[in-house]
Structure 1
Amino acid sequence: MRNLSSLEITKNISLLSDDKKTSKVINLKMDVPQEKPLVVMLSWLMAKKKHVHKYADIYLKHGFDVLNISLSPWQLLWPVKGSQVVAKDLLKFLDLNTTYSPLILHGFSVGAYLWGEVMVNIAADRDRYDHIVDRIAGQIWDSAADITEISVGLPVSVFPKNTVLQNALKQYVIYHMKAFDKVATVHYIRSSQMFHTNLVRAPAQIFISKTDPIGTEESNMRVRESWENMGIQISWKCFDKSPHVGHFRIHPKEYTAVLNSFLASLNIPQKTSRIERQEEKIKAKL
């Protein structure tokens, strides 16, 4: 994996690149225009940096920068002061930094919910934000989790190896969604509706597994049917056996081949990466 640089935009948003970023970020706007394609990577709960960087590395090789967005369990449970704030920051960054184009979405698990929150804001002011939708050339969804899976996915993310605590948190999440309907559940439902009636009509690549209890084959099939009815071109990869957001780890060559094939189909002009430029200089000297 190449040596990437990371620039913190907010506590939840960081910019990954194989170019050293010297630009200052003032109120979510970079003072030096970045004329490159950008991947908006909406990562899963409790994602470790080293794992996110492995996905980012795929795109860095193609000359993309990667904007990684994370959510904490607390931000998921309390969307008004949590996930919706992150969604608005992401939207503002994309709105202000227009030279980052084209855009690719790559969302994992709860990232589908977060993007739904972004689309709620886009739908509220189409005249202002349609240019963001227009810049999106493709979308990749890996183990996308719907509202019905929050009580299953959140406990596993927080306590991956402790079934007792998983069960306890699962019961709390079920209670939380009933008790805090107006400040939590209604927002989950609205986001899910926005995800199913996607404003983004760019081609989509969906990765799922038959054995994933969180981003289930059934819920993703409903998304696929909804999107295909709207004319969205869908590429579908369902692994027989791999864990939630674990398809790349278990099937690295197949996952990468499918992803690279999808990216190639989008015909995005590629920028040469810093590593490639250095290699070209070395070859020229030889």
Structure 2
Amino acid sequence: MDFYHLLRRSASQARRTVHRNMATQTNATVTQISKHLEVHQYHPDTIDSRGPRPTVVFLPWMNATQSQANRYRELYATRGFNVLTVWGSLSYFLWPQWAMPLATELADFLKDETRGPLLVHSMSVGAYLYAVTLSVISDNPDKYSSLVSRVKGHVYDSIVVGTLEEMARGVGLIVAPKSTILQQAISRSCLLYFAATKQHTVLPYNRFIDVVHNSPFKTPKLCFYSRNDVMCLPEAMERLMNHWRNDYGLDVTAMAWENSPHASHLRTDPETYNSLLNEFLKKVGLDKLPLNLSSKL
């Protein structure tokens, strides 16, 4: 069953709603595939005789709301894409084994239920869920070989990258964003937890970090981060980008703001964000998609 027919399943097979997006009020047919996967179809599935439209795989930050996610989905809706949103939870980070069913579901869905080009846009801890998915794909190269030619590029925005201490600090910020004391307590507890569960947490984390460094998808990258972000450590981000450039010869475009909140760069500087995204889509050949948006509500 392809992407087009999936969106036309009966109500008993998939829950379907029509959703108004906040920014441009474009209609979308929204299909809830599962508790993890949600498809926003803004456009017909095909572009005349040119074949299937591209799909953005969007992995937002933890605890993102629908209205916050809409702002990023709209970036792509107005550029001719449909969007597959992947929702996770903090528990998938704290116990990686729980993330494996989601990762397998996503990899299988991309292989079996979508057509056409794919672009990945992951943010904050959403990049962790994508890393778990990459590990599933890397461990089953024959099964997912068809994805290699379809994944055209990656947008990494404020991805959580760095040491265990930095990841523990990130958990504290996610759980208690308004309390420094509670953040510190949670971070210390996380480090104790990682030490006690090394076999089930630290070792998988190292595997996921490695698969991001050496992804089966050798595509151009667009990276957004800031120098004051304690969850996306600038030095670690720059080491990762240099690895992609120097070891694989990949085209990596980066924008580092001096002062911009975590996962908020689109709000901080929308003009630069949009301009770089336009240039990136042109680079990967996904910039001149004819629009056929649903009518305004």
Which TM-score tier does this pair reach, normalised by the shorter chain? 0.7 to 0.9
Among 41, 49, 66, the alignment partner of 2:58 is 41
On the 8 A contact 1:8/1:15 being kept in 2, the answer is yes
The residue aligned with 2:17 is: none
On the 8 A contact 1:36/1:271 being kept in 2, the answer is no
Q: Does 1:258 align with 2:273?
A: no
Among 156, 164, 176, the alignment partner of 2:193 is 176
Q: Does 1:270 align with 2:289?
A: yes
SS of alignment partner, residue 175 of structure 1:
helix
CA–CA distance in structure 2, aligned partners of residues 273 and 106 of structure 1: 22
Q: Does 1:230 align with 2:245?
A: no
Q: How does 1:61-100 map to 2 (within 5 A)?
A: 61-81=78-98, 83-99=99-115
The residue aligned with 2:217 is: 200
| Unaligned residue ranges in structure 2 (runs of 5+) | 1-22, 46-50
The residue aligned with 2:122 is: 107
The residue aligned with 2:266 is: 248
On the 8 A contact 1:37/1:103 being kept in 2, the answer is yes
Structure 1 residues 11-62: Cα deviation after superposition (integer angstroms, max 9, x where no partner): 12211232599xxxxxxxxxxxx93210011111111111111011010011
Q: Deviation of residue 208 (structure 1)?
A: 0.9
Q: Deviation of residue 69 (structure 1)?
A: 0.9
SS of alignment partner, residue 187 of structure 1:
helix
CA–CA distance in structure 2, aligned partners of residues 224 and 135 of structure 1: 22
Q: Deviation of residue 218 (structure 1)?
A: 0.6
Among 148, 151, 158, the alignment partner of 1:136 is 151
SS of alignment partner, residue 106 of structure 1:
strand
Residue identity (%): 28
SS of alignment partner, residue 56 of structure 2:
strand
More helix per residue: 1 or 2? 1
| Unaligned residue ranges in structure 1 (runs of 5+) | 22-33, 280-286
SS of alignment partner, residue 89 of structure 1:
helix
CA–CA distance in structure 2, aligned partners of residues 159 and 15 of structure 1: 30
SS of alignment partner, residue 254 of structure 2:
strand
SS of alignment partner, residue 289 of structure 2:
coil
SS of alignment partner, residue 169 of structure 1:
helix
Q: Deviation of residue 233 (structure 1)?
A: 0.6
CA–CA distance in structure 2, aligned partners of residues 10 and 265 of structure 1: 33
On the 8 A contact 2:162/2:233 being kept in 1, the answer is no
SS of alignment partner, residue 7 of structure 1:
strand
Q: Deviation of residue 234 (structure 1)?
A: 0.6
Q: Deviation of residue 246 (structure 1)?
A: 1.1
Among 219, 228, 231, the alignment partner of 1:211 is 228
Paired residues, number: 263
CA–CA distance in structure 1, aligned partners of residues 281 and 31 of structure 2: 25
On the 8 A contact 1:112/1:146 being kept in 2, the answer is no
CA–CA distance in structure 2, aligned partners of residues 5 and 77 of structure 1: 33
Amino acid at match of 2:276: V
On the 8 A contact 2:176/2:183 being kept in 1, the answer is yes
On the 8 A contact 1:113/1:146 being kept in 2, the answer is no
The residue aligned with 1:27 is: none
CA–CA distance in structure 1, aligned partners of residues 174 and 39 of structure 2: 24
